[in-house]
């Protein structure tokens, strides 16, 4: 450990505003303060995401998650900056972690490794660019997909899978058919193994497609239900031949039945192999168009 002159004000301003209080406190040689600011930053972001995911608050309208994260951290960065300027004249020690390569590179590397580890092993974030899953997933939704010990997929799950025709493109749809199931759509009503799935009209859900929203609650044989959107009574896939799901494969459908490219289109999506299913959607934590989670009813992740 070395003793040296106080850090320059310019470096404190730059580090405090751009890289935040954790890096700044390490740069000043204050390890405990860096840990405190790290804990506060996790709590702050966690509290905001929890409030949004629970429906307590709505995200800012037309603010993407990347832009919003800057505003999340800005107040904490300003507090850390003021704090850093205040203790500048008392922070003379230069422990190893206050050197530039440690204070700056190590926190960035650690945050990257943590994020990579979570994505690779536990939960991976996705966003929804299209309306094919309205109202289960809305345009602008950000959600977590779980990678933790996903056992046998269930009917009614919203799942992320690799598109069978290229095994690369990520798709998200609702699982309707299990291996061996017979599925046919007649006049917009799904028939599962010869029995029509009951539909009941639903009101009170936010609609992002103008006057073309007609919501119905669809109920599976085990009693599990979710809300679908039937735009028109004569959609292009409202009447189909009977599909027989092969062994080891699953049948997927979009909740927005007349605006979804799904397993009904065998040459585009078709039956999805089990190996292509990555996991279920478990939590919506943001919507870039400002839609509050409680503006939806049951039938989507986390509710």
Quick one: which of 194, 215, 195 has its CA closest to 205? 215
> Among residues 41, 132, 225, 263, which one is catalytic?
132
Q: Please, is 1 exposed, middle or buried when counting C-beta atoms within 10 Å of its C-beta (0-12, 13-18, 19+)?
A: exposed
Total Cβ atoms within 10 A of residue 55:
15
Instruction: Tell me if 200 sits within 8 A of 214, measured CB to CB.
Output: no
Any idea which residue has 């292509």 for tokens?
276
> Among residues 41, 98, 173, 288, which one is catalytic?
173
130 catalytic residue (yes or no): no
**DSSP code of residue 211:** T
Quick one: which of 202, 206, 179, 182 has its CA closest to 272? 179
Total Cβ atoms within 10 A of residue 160:
20
> d(Cα 286, Cα 62) in Å, to the nearest integer?
11
Instruction: Tell me if 237 sits within 8 A of 245, measured CB to CB.
Output: no
Across 135-188, the runs of DSSP E, i.e. the strands, are: 141-146, 158-162, 170-177, 182-186
Quick one: which of 281, 286, 288 has its CA closest to 123? 281
> d(Cα 272, Cα 157) in Å, to the nearest integer?
14
Positions annotated as catalytic residues are 132, 173
């Amino acid at each position: 450990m070395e003793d040296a002159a106080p850090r320059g004000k310019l470096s404190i301003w730059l580090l405090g505003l751009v890289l935040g209080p954790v890096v700044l406190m390490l740069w000043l040689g204050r390890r405990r303060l860096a840990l405190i600011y790290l804990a506060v930053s996790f709590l702050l972001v966690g509290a905001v995401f929890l409030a949004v995911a629970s429906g307590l608050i709505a995200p800012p309208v037309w603010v993407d998650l990347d832009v919003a994260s800057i505003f999340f951290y800005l107040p904490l960065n300003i507090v850390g900056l003021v704090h850093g300027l205040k203790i500048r004249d008392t922070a003379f020690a230069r422990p190893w972690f206050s050197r530039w390569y440690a204070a700056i590179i190590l926190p960035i590397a650690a945050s990257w490794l943590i994020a990579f580890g979570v994505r690779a092993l536990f939960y991976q974030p996705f966003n929804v660019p299209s309306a094919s899953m309205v109202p289960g997933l809305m345009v602008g939704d950000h959600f977590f997909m779980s990678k933790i010990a996903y056992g046998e997929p269930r009917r009614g799950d919203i799942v992320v899978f690799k598109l069978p025709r290229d095994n690369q493109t990520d798709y998200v749809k609702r699982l309707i058919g299990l291996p061996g199931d017979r599925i046919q759509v007649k006049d917009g009503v799904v028939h599962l193994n010869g029995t029509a799935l009951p539909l009941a009209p639903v009101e009170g859900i936010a609609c992002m497609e103008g006057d073309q929203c007609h919501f119905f609650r669809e109920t599976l044989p085990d009693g599990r239900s979710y809300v679908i959107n039937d735009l028109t009574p004569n959609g292009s896939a409202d009447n189909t031949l009977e599909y027989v799901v092969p062994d080891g494969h699953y049948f997927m459908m979009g909740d927005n039945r007349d605006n979804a490219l799904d397993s009904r289109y065998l040459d585009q999506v078709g039956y999805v192999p089990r190996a292509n299913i990555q996991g279920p959607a478990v939590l919506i934590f943001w919507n870039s168009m400002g839609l509050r989670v409680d503006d939806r009813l049951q039938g989507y992740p986390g509710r």
